[in-house]
């Protein structure tokens, strides 16, 4: 059994006071027990207020949306892994397509960030996904395999076991056009094949592979029940407490094949 993981990526939304309001409302929308592990990834500026509002024994873990690969130094505007750990983060999203396409992040940067996260005890959530042009050109598998090989290059089995992969087709992000379960299952299957070829079966099969891209309260149950989908990385729909609570409730443990 892999426990499902639901991650809410707030992107550049919510001030710290809006974050407190969200959590108050969320506590009313959700009964506080879940069959899924849940992570909230607010902007850096709201990490502290989310952590305080959740309390130290919360069932919800804290995540960041990015990190720099160095621990400290002259990198104006950047945030390091130890800084995130100090604020109570246990997860960090790495290589999101918005970082790749809008901010020029390359596979080599993503690789350094994965290593930096592991070195300071953060669990990386590594995002991979193809653009519409790449899908239409029949390159989905190649693109994803290349992104995975670069980011996970030479990781040990132990390190690999702590990484979560998020398959986020770029064309599905923020478009209201989620992948069909068949499309998602096919890519999840090829991700699992890639992992089990390169690493020890135990480590590879312990890893969770999430789906992200227009996950909503309407389509969550279908996607989350599909074979090989171990959870969701949610953008727009996680900003609303009721929608996020509904998505979390749709996640149930499944046996591993
Ligand atoms: P949407 O759920 O808004 O499509 O965003 C997905 C995403 O990019 C999560 O990281």
The residues near 100 (Cβ < 8 Å, ≥ 6 apart) are 106, 110
pLDDT at 33: 75
**Looking at the chain, which runs of residues are DSSP E strands?**
5-9, 37-41, 60-64, 89-94, 123-128, 164-167, 209-212, 231-234
The CA-based diameter of the chain, rounded to the nearest angstrom, is 48
What is the number of H-type helices and E-type strands within the chain?
12, 8
pLDDT at 253: 86
| 150-183 per-position pLDDT tens digit | 999 999 999 999 999 999 999 999 999 999 999 9
Given a cut of 50, the residues of the chain with pLDDT beneath it are none
- Can you tell me which atom of ligand 1 is nearest the CA of 216? 2
pLDDT at 177: 97
Is 168 marked active-site?
Answer: yes
Minimum CA distance residue for ligand 1 atom 9: 235
Contact assessment for residue 202 and residue 242, using Cβ atoms and an 8 Å cutoff: no
Distances (CA, A) of 112 to 66, 67, 94, 235: 12, 10, 10, 25
pLDDT at 29: 86
Report, at the CATH architecture level, how domain 5-249 is classified.
Alpha-Beta Barrel (3.20)
pLDDT at 58: 84
The gap from C-alpha 205 to its chain's centroid, in whole angstroms, comes to 17
pLDDT at 191: 97
Is 96 marked active-site?
Answer: yes
247 lines ligand 1 (CB under 6 A): no
Whole-structure pTM over 0.75, yes or no? yes
The residues near 68 (Cβ < 8 Å, ≥ 6 apart) are 75, 78, 79, 80, 81, 113, 116
Q: How far is the CA of 213 from the centre of ligand 1 (A)?
A: 5
Q: Which sequence spans correspond to the domains of the chain?
A: 5-249
pLDDT at 256: 66
pLDDT at 135: 98
Question: Residue 132 has what DSSP assignment?
Answer: H
Q: How far is the CA of 170 from the centre of ligand 1 (A)?
A: 9
For a mutational test of ligand 1's pocket, the pick from 7, 9, 239, i.e. the residue with the most ligand atoms closer than 8 A to its C-beta, is 9
pLDDT at 257: 56
């Amino acid at each position: 059994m892999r426990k499902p993981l639901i991650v809410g990526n707030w992107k550049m939304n919510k001030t710290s006071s809006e974050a407190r309001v969200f959590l108050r409302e969320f506590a009313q929308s959700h009964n506080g027990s879940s069959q899924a592990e849940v992570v909230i990834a607010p902007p850096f500026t709201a990490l502290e207020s989310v952590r305080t509002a959740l309390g130290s024994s919360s069932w919800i873990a804290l995540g960041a949306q990015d990190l720099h690969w160095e621990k400290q130094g002259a990198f104006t505007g950047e945030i390091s892994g130890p800084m995130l750990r100090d604020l109570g983060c246990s997860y960090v999203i790495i290589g999101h397509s918005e970082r790749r396409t809008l901010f020029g992040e390359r596979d080599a940067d993503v690789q350094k960030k994965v290593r930096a996260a592991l070195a300071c005890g953060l669990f990386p959530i590594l995002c991979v996904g193809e653009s519409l042009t790449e899908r239409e050109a029949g390159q989905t598998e190649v693109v994803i395999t290349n992104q995975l090989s670069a980011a996970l290059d030479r990781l040990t089995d132990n390190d690999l076991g702590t990484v979560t992969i998020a398959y986020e087709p770029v064309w599905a992000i923020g478009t209201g056009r989620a992948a069909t379960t068949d499309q998602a299952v096919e890519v999840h299957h090829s991700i699992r094949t890639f992992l089990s070829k390169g690493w020890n079966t135990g480590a590879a099969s312990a890893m969770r592979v999430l789906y992200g891209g227009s996950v909503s309260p309407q389509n969550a149950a279908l996607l989350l029940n599909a074979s090989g989908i171990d959870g969701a990385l949610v953008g727009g729909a996680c900003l609303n407490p009721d929608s996020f609570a509904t998505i979390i409730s749709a996640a149930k443990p499944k046996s591993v094949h």
